[in-house]
């Protein structure tokens, strides 16, 4: 067992340094000793999957794993956990590949409002890993550390029992742990409340060796191909001019050239009431007449983003160019919670706007987009919603067709 290192006395108005591993990401925090683990996770690291109910140990909403054992995050001061490994519900699985417990809760309707679900998932994960032979009759006692106001518990017990029987002694581990950038909303006021990849300071003076992408699956994956009227040669001209290319990116602004294909920039996005302003860096890894590969990372007070983007242009028979953009985007913090699918839709829209701008730039237009203007909030959202409505109507009509 790892003991924490001793720590010198810290006055009540000072911050204490603490190093944790959260869902596979090493984080270094500096916070007042009275901040609980639940607040540190939610406010300082943006991991709001850990819920907070009573804040005094009764309800179990805040249950997380500490060194593999379930514990109440509201009853731990984060500073006590130096060197500990924390797993939260975010680490358990991800939407396209849920942990068997998450899948089972869904299948058995083990949740209504869902407020207690992270607590039940972490508590039952702990139970099934440490007591794999647990019998159904014992589940109500064993799961008594978490309260539910909605379900009446029966479906929760069904869900856990199902997984217990299916995976006796061999419950899969947390499926979504790896290196991430974690950013919370208090990071601005608390010094060093950033993850290991703290290279991304507000205005980095030095560029990093490389932009490291988190392990695991991206939050969103985009693959859009747009048809451009311009020919491959004209598109090659845009691909050869990074400044021009940047102007085609909606809301983006190139602020500094750092040399050796490194750039610093800003990207602003406005969506409904949300305003995000990312500052960050980008590295062009490959730049040819028909292909550009780049990595970028940025952060906003609402969260962080990292991406690998591949753009390729191919000639289309009969004239014009097909511009394909593939991007793996990793989001963290509040923006990640903003809805994976909506974020995906919005990003796709942005690439389509980008493609149109590239087309205009290739055709020789001076100002392909109004560089620093955030992409029209309304137009983006309206287009996204229109897409949704169309898809929905399509689904309705095809279902109708089946019935007939």
Contacting residues toward other proteins, per CB under 8 A: 1, 3-13, 16, 32-34, 36, 39, 54-57, 60, 63, 66, 69-72, 74-77, 79-80, 82, 123, 126-127, 140-142, 144-146
Query: What's the CA gap between 74 and 135, in Å, rounded?
Result: 29
Q: Applying CB under 6 A, does 54 fall inside the site for ligand FAD?
A: no
Q: Which does 69 bind (CB under 5 to 8 A by kind): other proteins, ligand FAD, ligand FES, none?
A: other proteins
Nearest to 124, CA basis, from 138, 107, 112: 138
SS3 362: helix
Q: Applying CB under 6 A, does 149 fall inside the site for ligand FES?
A: yes
Structure tokens at 61: 């909403």
Query: What's the CA gap between 249 and 375, in Å, rounded?
Result: 9
Q: Applying CB under 6 A, does 364 fall inside the site for ligand FAD?
A: no
> In the set 4, 34, 54, 57, which binds ligand FAD (CB under 6 A)?
57
Q: Applying CB under 6 A, does 4 fall inside the site for ligand FAD?
A: no
Q: Which does 323 bind (CB under 5 to 8 A by kind): ligand FAD, other proteins, ligand FES, none?
A: none
How many binding residues for ligand FAD (CB under 6 A)? 2
Considering the complex, state which of residue 151 and residue 328 has its C-beta at the smaller distance from ligand FES: 151
Considering the complex, state which of residue 71 and residue 163 has its C-beta at the smaller distance from ligand FAD: 71
Query: Which letter does DSSP use for residue 183 in this model?
Result: B
Query: What's the CA gap between 127 and 133, in Å, rounded?
Result: 10
Q: Applying CB under 6 A, does 172 fall inside the site for ligand FAD?
A: no
Considering the complex, state which of residue 33 and residue 284 has its C-beta at the smaller distance from other proteins: 33
Contact present, 183 and 278 (Cβ < 8 Å): no
* Phi, psi of 120, deg, nearest 5: -65, -40
Nearest to 292, CA basis, from 324, 338, 254: 324
Q: Applying CB under 6 A, does 114 fall inside the site for ligand FES?
A: yes
CB of 42 to other proteins, least distance (A): 13
Contact present, 207 and 263 (Cβ < 8 Å): no
Contact present, 89 and 61 (Cβ < 8 Å): no
Edge-to-edge strand order for the sheet containing 15-22?
A: 69-72, 63-66, 85-87, 15-22, 25-32, 194-195
CB of 184 to other proteins, least distance (A): 16
Q: Which does 8 bind (CB under 5 to 8 A by kind): other proteins, ligand FAD, ligand FES, none?
A: other proteins
Which residues in this chain contact ligand FES in the complex, by CB under 6 A?
Answer: 52-55, 57-62, 72, 74, 111-116, 148-151
């Amino acid at each position: 067992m790892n003991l924490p290192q001793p720590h010198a006395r810290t006055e009540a108005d000072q911050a204490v340094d603490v190093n944790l591993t959260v869902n596979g990401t090493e984080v270094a925090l500096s916070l007042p000793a009275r901040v609980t683990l639940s607040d540190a996770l939610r406010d300082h690291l943006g991991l709001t999957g850990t819920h907070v109910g009573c804040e005094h140990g009764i309800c179990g909403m805040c249950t997380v794993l500490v060194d593999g054992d379930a514990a109440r995050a509201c009853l731990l001061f984060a500073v006590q956990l130096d060197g500990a490994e924390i797993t939260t519900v975010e680490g358990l699985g991800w939407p396209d590949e849920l942990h068997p417990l998450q899948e089972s809760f869904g299948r058995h309707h083990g949740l209504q409002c869902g407020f207690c679900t992270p607590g039940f998932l972490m508590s039952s994960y702990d139970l099934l890993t440490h007591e794999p032979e647990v019998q159904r009759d014992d589940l109500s006692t064993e799961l008594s550390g978490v309260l539910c106001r909605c379900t009446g518990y029966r479906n929760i017990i069904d869900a856990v029992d199902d997984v217990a029987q299916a995976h006796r002694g061999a419950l899969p581990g947390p499926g979504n742990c790896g290196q991430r950038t974690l950013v919370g909303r208090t990071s601005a006021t608390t010094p060093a409340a950033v993850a290991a990849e703290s290279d991304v300071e507000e205005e980095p003076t030095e560029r990093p060796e490389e932009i490291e992408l988190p392990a695991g699956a991206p939050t969103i994956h985009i693959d859009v191909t747009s048809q451009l009227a311009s020919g491959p040669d004209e598109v090659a001209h845009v691909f050869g001019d990074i400044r021009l290319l940047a102007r085609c990116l909606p809301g983006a602004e190139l602020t500094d050239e750092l040399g050796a294909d490194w750039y610093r920039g800003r990207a602003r996005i406005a969506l409904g009431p949300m305003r995000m302003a990312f500052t960050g860096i980008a590295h062009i890894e490959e730049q040819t007449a028909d292909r550009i590969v780049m990595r970028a990372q940025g952060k906003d007070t609402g969260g962080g983003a990292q991406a690998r983007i591949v753009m390729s242009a191919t000639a289309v028979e009969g004239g014009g160019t097909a511009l394909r953009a593939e991007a793996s985007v990793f989001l963290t913090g509040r923006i990640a919670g903003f809805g994976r699918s909506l974020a995906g839709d919005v990003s796709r829209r942005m690439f389509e706007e980008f493609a149109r701008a590239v087309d205009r730039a290739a055709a020789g237009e001076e100002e392909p987009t109004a560089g620093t203007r955030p992409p029209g909030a309304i137009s983006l959202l309206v287009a996204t919603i229109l897409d949704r409505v169309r898809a929905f109507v399509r689904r309705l009509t095809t279902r109708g067709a089946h019935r007939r």
